[in-house]
Structure 1
């Protein structure tokens, strides 16, 4: 049993009278109430709750009574969370309703986005966006959104809301408004055929709570999100938050988060948890953006300075911040997930970080070397490298029978020639079956008797329609012998 209560300089930044508590497997929250006189205010997930503190105990002193209780795995005050841009003045300039600067910006070209879209566009991937909400009526998002939830107002409408009131008393009004819509716009451009699941965990000031963030992560997993994008954080570790992140990773989700805009080695969470891909921002010269945080927990860097994106009201805006770098990495991960056979979250993360453009050697980055992650995101390189591995034969289960699979070219555009090699004395199959990764048979190809053992596939299905770009499984049967291989089709 581990109980933890963060204390110190941030003690005022929490919801008064609320604790976020996680019970161990098989635990019982009622046992906590019976022992301490606490009450459940809200259940966040299967094992996490918001409870009242014991009478006469300050929430920042909860470690004094929780350390001795075996019914508690972790606990924290219900800390206030913020988007990095709300904490360090979001930089947004409205630019009107023209799409040109959004669709043709240099950041897309620098990371090889158009080239990557020849291989994958994200079909079949669901991305959870934990942010200030979204403008669901924006033209860019039509056909891309699925129903989400608002954990700020606790309703089923995660739309962005501007109240016109300085609710956090910082002298700024609605400084977080538009943040989620902008982040979503980067995702939509990066991975145009993915589903976006909007989850509102921050208000129009860019502020939320630890409880709403945990609920949002749990909800994303329950809705089947394969990738979770979070431009939100705390300036210190929270064990209940790390528990939620670990649960999501265990469920197969890849988590991506902004590293922060402090221009210091300051770590924020969840980005600095080991289970999360932490993303910092670069300028147009691949030098650390002037505002970007940098530290050893950063995994990868991406463009994040002067990014054009969608803005509420059907318009567009330009923003700077690590929040606008993170969704490029989220989009890249979705492209890989869609194109190949889904693997562990760590495999996708490794593919992204192994294929970067090294930027530590640039003069402007010398003071930050080793603190900008492995380098700058290169989506095309990540995807082609990932697909090169996916395209290798997967007939290992049938190798004892001596059947081998070959295809050239692979990946291919247009047509490819497929060949099988079988042991002497065995019957060469007359046909191959081609399946999508979802298990749907798209084509049956019969071999010409004059060239038994060789097939050509032109990327068409049985009805003569072009199939989508992506990875396809090829299956053959030679009597009792089988061979299975992968082909990568690009458009």
Structure 2
């Protein structure tokens, strides 16, 4: 392809994790110097300076050589120890109904769609809501004691919109960045967890309230900006929970109507995405799925949730299979493209913007030509905005889901400059009732009842026909466009197309404005064959048909 992967960056991996023993070395030195009471003040100060210089240089050198060593995974739902010997729980879920007070019972729906009652008392810490009651659908994190009747006696409840005790900071250029970051860590009692070296962006862990820490950092002359580490998620909404199961054979996957809708037949077997690498940033991919295994390009450090080299799509969880399903759509349209899975969301579909920004940068560093983002993140994240801008400037194509909220409000990363935003339409090319819309949407593609690959392990646990399933959402529409981008890139590399991928796909898309009048515009409809240069008309492949089993609603 036109981009050469940089497997060994000049300064080590673009994203470096730093171990705690190096982060607190400056504090150890200070404690040691304080203990030298017999020395003169001048002598102690001189030794402190020398030791600090050695510490900073050693930490910088070792961190650059080390690469990734510790995960920056999002907070998980795990039992916690209580000072009274009772089991304390952390839960994540969405507020299920309107609440009128910060005292009383709140009904919360967990990731697996199980309801739980959270009991708030005058002692419950709700400061993060800033005296504003949350609306139904708001994601929450609650900590407390699980009562015998199944309710949660909450010690703390907060919006689950950012990672607690984490701050993302971009430093201004300096002669010695290592010294600057170590000085900040010491002065503000923080530790460095990770760094995006290309942009001088650091993830700090703080013992104190992260918002208070940001307030102080913003007034520091060494800091360009500081922000919360926002949570990112698989797009939710009504289509997210609806499943339809088919035969374990792939006939209904290969021959589904959606491929005809995007005009794939004239291209099949002619242009296939040769020498193009597509990165899928999602819940991972079933690494053993027979339809995908030969197409996978698994790179080191690609599971950023569990910090392993195996980005497997594992469960159980509400988002189990999401990445595998996305991968199958891409592979069906661009079968020769290499698929690079990076796991940035856990099995419940939860991640954070720092992980996402790192994965985007790392994928580009490892040679990805197209990046599929069937997920959503906070639009206020400068970390994500600046990372995407840098990667797009390198020529990498980024395609993202518009979201499933039936809303015209721009979502991110889909609405960021240079990103191709994808909405979902039905078989008649009419916007689905749940797809987002608006002038910020670039293209529309099929997103309702899409059949694709699914983890074999799910079938084993649920006694369902293995290997394939149908799912709806803008997450499913997005990989149609991602795969089309891979086909365009193949022809751009061969000199047959001069326009950019964005220009080529939009210019040759089908005008569906009459079917989706304002304000419900969703851009042009994807037309794969029209966007490519075909030497001769091709005979469409024979089509077979298969019946589906009844729909299943996961609860």
Fold match (TM-score > 0.5): yes
**Is residue 2:388 matched to residue 1:245?**
yes
**CA 368–235 in structure 1, closer or farther in 2 if over 3 Å, else same:** farther
**Is residue 2:525 matched to residue 1:372?**
no
**Is residue 2:358 matched to residue 1:215?**
yes
- CA–CA separation in structure 2 for the residues paired with 1:136 and 1:319: 20
Report the CA distance between 1:45 and its aligned residue: 4.4
**CA 133–293 in structure 1, closer or farther in 2 if over 3 Å, else same:** same
Report the CA distance between 1:34 and its aligned residue: 4.6
Per the alignment, residue 234 of structure 2 pairs with 83
Deviations 1:176-217 (A, max 9, x none): 000000000000011010000000001111111112111211
2:188 to 19, 36, 45: 36
User: 1:352 touches 1:382 (CA, 8 Å); kept in 2?
Assistant: yes
Per the alignment, residue 204 of structure 1 pairs with 347
SS at match of 1:139: coil
Q: What are the ranges of 5 or more consecutive residues in structure 1 without an aligned counterpart?
A: 1-5, 164-173, 388-410, 415-491
2:249 to 86, 91, 98: 98
Per the alignment, residue 277 of structure 2 pairs with 126
Per the alignment, residue 481 of structure 1 pairs with none
SS at match of 2:517: helix
User: 2:239 touches 2:472 (CA, 8 Å); kept in 1?
Assistant: no
- CA–CA separation in structure 1 for the residues paired with 2:344 and 2:391: 17
Report the CA distance between 1:116 and its aligned residue: 2.2
Per the alignment, residue 147 of structure 1 pairs with 298
- CA–CA separation in structure 2 for the residues paired with 1:162 and 1:111: 32
Deviations 1:391-420 (A, max 9, x none): xxxxxxxxxxxxxxxxxxxx3589xxxxxx
1:324 to 461, 476, 491: 476
**CA 288–39 in structure 1, closer or farther in 2 if over 3 Å, else same:** same
**CA 342–63 in structure 1, closer or farther in 2 if over 3 Å, else same:** farther
- CA–CA separation in structure 1 for the residues paired with 2:218 and 2:388: 22
- CA–CA separation in structure 2 for the residues paired with 1:109 and 1:90: 26
**CA 76–295 in structure 1, closer or farther in 2 if over 3 Å, else same:** farther
- CA–CA separation in structure 2 for the residues paired with 1:51 and 1:95: 47
User: 2:311 touches 2:341 (CA, 8 Å); kept in 1?
Assistant: yes
Per the alignment, residue 166 of structure 2 pairs with 18
Per the alignment, residue 448 of structure 2 pairs with 305
Which range moves more in the overlay, 145-154 or 339-348? 339-348
Please, what is the CA RMSD of the aligned residues? 2.6
Per the alignment, residue 485 of structure 1 pairs with none
- CA–CA separation in structure 2 for the residues paired with 1:24 and 1:354: 41
**CA 340–69 in structure 1, closer or farther in 2 if over 3 Å, else same:** same
User: Within 5 Å, which residues of 2 pair with 1:447-486?
Assistant: none
SS at match of 1:73: strand
What is the number of equivalent residue pairs in this alignment?
368
Report the CA distance between 1:330 and its aligned residue: 0.5
User: 2:295 touches 2:337 (CA, 8 Å); kept in 1?
Assistant: yes
TM-score norm. by structure 2 comes to 0.62
User: 2:172 touches 2:222 (CA, 8 Å); kept in 1?
Assistant: yes
Per the alignment, residue 21 of structure 2 pairs with none
Report the CA distance between 1:142 and its aligned residue: 2.8
**CA 74–127 in structure 1, closer or farther in 2 if over 3 Å, else same:** farther
SS at match of 1:115: coil
TM-score norm. by structure 1 comes to 0.70
